[in-house]
Structure 1
Amino acid sequence: MEYDEVVLGRRSIRGYKPDPVPRALIEEILALAMRAPSSMNSQPWNFYVVTGEPLARIRAGNTERMLAGVPQSREFRTGPAFAGAHRERQVAVAKQLFGAMGIAREDAERRQDWVMRGFRQFDAPVCVIVTYDRALDGSDDSPFDCGAVTNALVNAAWSRGLGCVINSQGIMQSPVVREHAGIAADQVIMKAIALGWPDETFPANAVVSERKRVDEAATFVGFDG
């Protein structure tokens, strides 16, 4: 695909085919993603790519602990709940997704099942866990750089016919993730990326979130007109 096709066509995928993703293809995608810029070429990122039985154990552990009321233990800080315009955008995309899936507001069972999909990594065949070196913890540059490589990763995957959704639900129970993904103690778990072949029959996959306009986000200084 052309670059514009990738950026304009990519969307978050929340329903996947069960088909496996070849390791060689994932390595190719990671190699492309790691061309992302980083502060002073620090390249703080690492990736734990999980599939099969280890991923099934992470899903089961996440789900069981969340349903049991075990407090979340996400390692990268979450900050306060969204408010104002940010909350409005969060609610708007939720309405789009629930509308596409036909989940009524009063349908508590299906709404709960939707939440659990996140803790199951959306039943994708692969989960990529993004970590950064603990020696850099406290630096704002390192999470910024990990955001850059994650953006590059999901676009590279899309260009090869794969879908992704970046999420935090799959890493909320960090002891489970650490145990079954074998994450080293010198790494901070930052984000998870569900990855696989999109199921085009899954209604939520057609949802395209609304975006701010350039004139809402950008301030031009020193330009004529």
Structure 2
Amino acid sequence: MEYDEVILGRRSIRGYRSDPVPKGLIEEIINLVMRAPSSYNSQPWSFFVISGEPLNRIRAGNVERMVAGVPESREFRAGQPFAGSHRDRQVGVAKQLFSAMGIAREDKDRREEWMLRGFRQFDAPVCVIITYDRALADSDDTPFDCGGVANALVNAAWSRGLGTVINSQGIMQSPVVREHAGIPDDQVIMKSIALGWPDETFPANAVVSERKPLAETLNFVGFAD
């Protein structure tokens, strides 16, 4: 694909085919995204790519603990809940997804099942856990750099026909993830990304999240009219 096609065409994928993703293709993608910029070339990230039975154990553990009411244990700070226009956009995309899936507001069972899909990494055949070196945990540049490499990953995957969705629900029970992914203590678990071949029959996959107008976000300073 051309670069513009990737950026404008990519969307978050929440329904996947069960077909396996070749290990060599994942290595190709990661090798490409390693070119993402980082502060002073620190490259703070590591990738734990999980599939098969270890991923099934993570899914089961996440769901079991969340249903049992075990408090979430994200390692990377979540911050305060969204408010104002940020909350409005969060609610907006949720409405788009529920509408696409035909989930009514009063249908608590289907809403709960949708939430649990997130804890199962949307049943994708692959989950990529991005971590960063604990020695850099106090650096604000580190999460910025990891965000950049995550962006590179989802776009590189899309350019090769693979879908992704960046997903915080998959790491809310970090002890489960750390145990079954074999993540050492010197790494902080930051984010999970579901990855696989998109199921084009899954209604939510057609949802394209809205973007705020350019006039609300772009500021030119010092330019002639």
Which runs of no fewer than 5 residues in structure 1 stay unpaired?
none
- Alpha-carbon distance between aligned partners in 2 of 1:80 and 1:147, rounded to the nearest angstrom: 19
- Alpha-carbon distance between aligned partners in 2 of 1:4 and 1:44, rounded to the nearest angstrom: 28
Does residue 1:104 correspond to 2:107, yes or no?
no
Cα shift at 1:87? 0.2
2:36 aligned residue: 36
Does residue 1:148 correspond to 2:148, yes or no?
yes
Structure 2 residue matching 1:179: 3-state secondary structure: helix
Cα shift at 1:218? 1.3
Cα shift at 1:213? 2.1
1:61 aligned residue: 61
Does residue 1:17 correspond to 2:17, yes or no?
yes
CA-to-partner distance for each residue in 1:153-206, whole Å, 9 max, x for gaps? 000000000000001000000000000000011000000000000000000000
1:204 aligned residue: 204
CA-to-partner distance for each residue in 1:97-152, whole Å, 9 max, x for gaps? 00000000000000000000000000000000000000000111000000000000
Cα shift at 1:14? 0.1
Structure 1 residue matching 2:103: 3-state secondary structure: coil
- Using the size of structure 2 for normalisation, the TM-score is 0.99
Structure 1 residue matching 2:115: 3-state secondary structure: helix
- Alpha-carbon distance between aligned partners in 2 of 1:129 and 1:88, rounded to the nearest angstrom: 28
Cα shift at 1:215? 1.6
Cα shift at 1:212? 1.6
- Alpha-carbon distance between aligned partners in 2 of 1:111 and 1:99, rounded to the nearest angstrom: 12
1:86 aligned residue: 86
- Alpha-carbon distance between aligned partners in 1 of 2:180 and 2:63, rounded to the nearest angstrom: 14
Cα shift at 1:41? 0.3
Structure 1 residue matching 2:78: 3-state secondary structure: coil
1:117 aligned residue: 117
- Alpha-carbon distance between aligned partners in 1 of 2:145 and 2:215, rounded to the nearest angstrom: 26
Identity %: 79
Residue type of the alignment partner of 2:163: G
Structure 1 residue matching 2:179: 3-state secondary structure: helix
Aligned residues: 225
- Alpha-carbon distance between aligned partners in 1 of 2:164 and 2:211, rounded to the nearest angstrom: 18
- The structure 1 segments of at least 4 consecutive aligned residues displaced by more than 6 Å after TM superposition are none
Residue type of the alignment partner of 1:159: S
- Using the size of structure 1 for normalisation, the TM-score is 0.99
Residue type of the alignment partner of 1:211: R
2:2 aligned residue: 2
Cα shift at 1:214? 1.9
Cα shift at 1:224? 1.2
